[in-house]
Amino acid sequence: MFTAVIPRLSIVVPFYDVERYFGPCLDSLARQTFRDFEVVLVDDGSRDGSAAIAREWCERDSRFRMISQENRGMGPARNAGIELARGEYLTFVDSDDLVPRHAYELLVGSLDRTSSSLAGGNARRFNNTSGVRQSYVHRLSYGTDRPATHVTEWPELAIDRMVWNKVYRRTFWDQFRYEFPAMRYEDWPVALKAHLDAVTVDCVAAPTYYWRERESGESVTQLKFQFGNLEDRVRSAEMILDMVDRRAPELRWKVHRHLTLIDLATVVQAFGSAPDHELEAVLALGRRLTGRLDPEAFVGASAIERLEYHGLQSGDVELLQRIARYRADGGRPSAAPAERHPVLPWRYRARGLPETPGTPPDVHRLSRGDLELRAAATNLIWDHDALLVSGTAVIDHLPPGADDTLRIALLAGLRETPLTVDRHPVRDRGGEQRLIGFTARVPRELLAAMPAKREAVRLIATLRTGSVRRRSLLRMNMQYPVGDRIGDAWFQPVKASDGRLLIRRMRGEIELTAADADGGALVLTGRMPPGVTASELVLSRAARELRAPLETGPGDLFTVRIPVAEVVDATSPDDPFLGRTLLVPKIGEALILITGLTGAVSVQQGDRLLTVARSPGQYLNLVEMPARVTAARVHVDGWSVTVEGPRWAGVDYERIVWRRFLPNSDDPVDAVCRITFDGDRWQARIDLDDLGPAEDADWTLFAAGDGLPYAIQAETFALTSLPRALDRHRLYARAGTLHLEKN
């Protein structure tokens, strides 16, 4: 018998054949800090052990209950769960995903404060090989907190396609009688209609949902090239287009452009694998979609986008197959060489893109936007008199030549100061050595002479290839650049919000100068600028704070002792996948700049660690996490790569491998490292030849001992020298995991 008490929140979880992932999903719900909820589990005809897992949870926790039905699909299963849901609020979870512990505390709390119709939160994507990273479709929609807004005020919400990152007020849901259609991609029509119907919507910037991306590609969104999947995708898009035309024409360009970039491209890619008997049907789907899209959405489109549009509009199946194979084989449209028009020398045409005898020449015409300068910093090193900025610069479609000229200048306001630039060949992503590399010297004295009111400078590149001249601010392709002191100021390279390299001059910062492990405590030492008074250090996490007293000494020195046992919280990490919690230390309202530490310091407490880490801007972070194999340094010696790190009690270090997954499979291929131990350190070495001949392979460093294998996370201090080019390989980090990519 169920209690008659009405829960505040109902969580509807349909499931079908998810035995491998289901337990962690339900565990993440049971761990919520918001406790007043029910979980309605809907068995949509599962054939594996998923239902047994659900029954076990129902027996263990009275807040869980289950119903069963024949397999009818996600939409009808959600509808069945809604009928049984009793809560004041309503939300949805996909059965292979995870929900951070504080998610519903944040979302329901926001609705209680604002009385909005619904609240949505940011989302992360995750899997073993790629780690945890920002979901692309949610990065702008939920980039900042926006209480009580609306899609007409914040149009980025128009492409917020999911329902699972939201909590809906049940009276609002019932008022508009929302119902999921019996199809895949059922979320977007409901999500957009709710955005339009809502009085106001709350946007929460904190991550409230973890969206799994399976290595096998088995999820609904990953099986996107199957015809039935494509058909539902186009039906969903048509429902969205009808809704926008009828109710929100001001959102038209935003939605049409999104469909052009994402959904139309997906239809074209399907021609690479569609069997012959489905080609005409896939073509009909593509023409249905192109027929609905506003030509304005293609203004400024690239040559490959225009080519895709032409192929669908003209019904050129052979061209569409060539485009799909070109993309599947790693073709890079931006690298297709340009050739001059025989009569009009200011015009260029892309050579090497797919075409058929009937392809009009104008489709391959390159616009000025196609000939874009891509200039990026890939390595920054401080020497005794300068900051050395190395990277690549190339104009899309134009092969570099010996007569090219590259100028890089320090840009302070409108003033440009030329820098010394050396150029050198670099192997590009296609494996070809080209004269696209550079190293620019930014003298320390030049940075020290920045105008007093100038807090940051940028670098601007000007490249002339033949008669084409382009300018662009230098982008930053490093995540953790290192800063240094010049005179009385600290100069910190950072990746700005627009992706460009920014060199910040910083004065008056609270600084961390040392960190040590002392028994069961982490001891932080630093100095505060004159005039700053504070009595405690505050550690902030997603929905709570921890505090530790400061001890001050002579010369504005401070020391803070953090008992690790008081911080370790194994039952409630903010990251439900990695089991980690990021704590951001502040003194007063100020972050703490790391100026005296080049490596992590960790303290073990049972099977957990508290570790000093750094942010991309070199501010102090602390990470509370499981004691696992962790990479602290990466060495490259000719044709071998060696990774090393600390050893922790109770952790298995006997088998460390570089792992890749077979296409569309969860089956791995391992290249086993040679392991050595030196006291409290481990080393794992691999020769690049041991990775085998597979082209376009992306290897991830894994701990694969007796327990569950996992991708090895790298300490943030170990990532300051990445990415690195190694002949035909590239060593880089993705969301804290180490990768070796062979081109």
Per-residue pLDDT reduced to its tens digit, 356-394: 988 887 888 888 888 999 999 999 999 999 999 999 999
Question: Residue range 498-518: average pLDDT?
Answer: 95
Pairing of strands 9-15, 89-92: parallel
In the CATH hierarchy, which fold is given to the domain comprising 510-626? Immunoglobulin-like (2.60.40)
Query: What CATH architecture applies to the domain 373-504?
Result: Sandwich (2.60)
Q: What is the mean pLDDT of residues 523-531?
A: 92
In the numeric block, which tokens belong to residue 485?
């002191």
From first CA to last CA, the distance across the chain in angstroms is 61
Q: Is the pLDDT of residue 505 over 70?
A: yes
pLDDT, tens digit (0-9, with 9 covering 90-100), for 706-724 = 788 999 999 999 999 899 8
Residue 388: how many CB atoms within 10 A of its CB? 14
* Residue pLDDT, tens place only, 160-187: 999 999 999 999 999 999 999 999 999 9
**Weakest mean pLDDT among 441-455, 539-553, 571-585, 642-656:** 539-553
Has residue 72 got a pLDDT over 90?
Answer: yes
Looking at residue 403, its pLDDT comes to 87
Q: Which of 52-66, 290-304, 515-529 has the lowest mean pLDDT?
A: 290-304
Taking the CA atoms of 541, 547, 548 and 554 in sequence, report the sign of the dihedral they define: positive
Q: Do domains 9-212 and 630-742 have the same CATH topology?
A: no
Lowest mean pLDDT among 7-11, 264-268, 286-290, 690-694: 690-694
- The class that CATH gives domain 630-742 is mainly beta
Query: Among 209-218, 461-470, 723-732, whose mean pLDDT is lowest?
Result: 209-218
The bridge status of strand 89-92 relative to strand 166-169 is antiparallel
CA 279/CA 733 separation, integer angstroms: 39
Q: Render pLDDT for 473-487 as a digit per residue (tens, 0 to 9).
A: 999 999 999 999 999
Residue 89 pLDDT > 60, yes or no? yes
Cα angle: 455, vertex 458, 464; to 5 degrees: 160
Mean per-residue pLDDT, 88-93:
98
- Kindly tell me if the per-residue pLDDT of 2 is higher than 60: no
Please tell me the distance from the alpha carbon of residue 140 to that of residue 525, in angstroms, as a whole number: 37
d(CA 42, CA 677) in angstroms, rounded, equals 50
Q: CA dihedral defined by 413, 415, 421, 423, rounded to 10 degrees?
A: 70
Q: For residues 454 and 662, give the distance between their C-alpha atoms in angstroms, rounded to a whole number.
A: 52
Alpha-carbon distances of 132 from 135, 211, 483, rounded to whole Å? 9, 9, 26
pLDDT digits (tens, 9 = 90+) for 407-418: 999 999 889 999
Assigned token pair, 24: 């962690």
Break the chain into its structural domains and give their ranges.
Answer: 9-212, 227-366, 373-504, 510-626, 630-742
Contact 303, 371 (CB under 8 A): no
Cβ atoms of 656 and 667 within 8 Å: the answer is no
Nearest CA to 353 out of 336, 367, 339 is that of: 336
Give me the pLDDT at residue 217, please.
46
670 pLDDT higher than 60: yes
90 token code pair: 């309503």
Note whether 42 and 81 are within 8 A (CB): yes
pLDDT value of residue 219: 42
pLDDT digits over 462-476, tens only? Answer: 999 988 999 999 999
Asked whether the predicted pLDDT for residue 278 surpasses 80, the reply is yes
Asked if 423 and 435 touch (Cβ cutoff 8 Å), the reply is: yes
Q: CATH fold of 9-212, please?
A: Spore Coat Polysaccharide Biosynthesis Protein SpsA; Chain A (3.90.550)
How confident is the model at residue 192, as a pLDDT?
A: 97
Helix (H) or strand (E) holding 241: helix 227-247
